[in-house]
Amino acid sequence: MQKLYEVSNEVDIIDFLVDNNAMIKDFSRSQLSWFFVGESFHVILYLAEGEKPKFERFIINRFAENMNDMIHLWNHFDKRIQHCQETRVLKLAKNKVHDLIAMSETFRALFNREDFEEE
């Protein structure tokens, strides 16, 4: 079962932000939002620096036990930073993913999970 999803449909992303009372108000700069919905971790990026501003959303289901996809997402952000793409907001996203990886044992205990993927 796939546990990492990327959503590019901006209408869906905006609906999600509105539903969570987190719609951005300043469209002049890139921004990061993140949420927990149950055991899913959601990262929403608003990227304002490119040719055309856009939203991106990443979802990792059962993130606390799914370290392979968390590491994959961390690497994805790192590669984009190395290519000088939206470095400020991508560093924020990468650091948030890193923090959650470091706290994975705590989240597994919180969700009462013992089964997880490990490299």
- pLDDT tens digits, one per residue of 66-108: 889 999 999 999 999 999 878 999 999 999 999 999 998 888 7
- pLDDT tens digits, one per residue of 3-24: 789 999 999 999 999 999 989 9
Supply the pTM of this predicted model.
0.85
pLDDT (0 to 100) of residue 119: 43
Q: Which pLDDT band, with edges at 50, 70 and 90, does 113 fall under?
A: low
- pLDDT tens digits, one per residue of 38-77: 889 999 999 998 889 999 999 999 888 888 999 999 999 9
Nearest to 47 by CA among 38, 57, 55: 55
Q: How many residues does the chain have?
A: 119
Helices (H), the chain: 10-19, 67-82, 87-102, 104-110
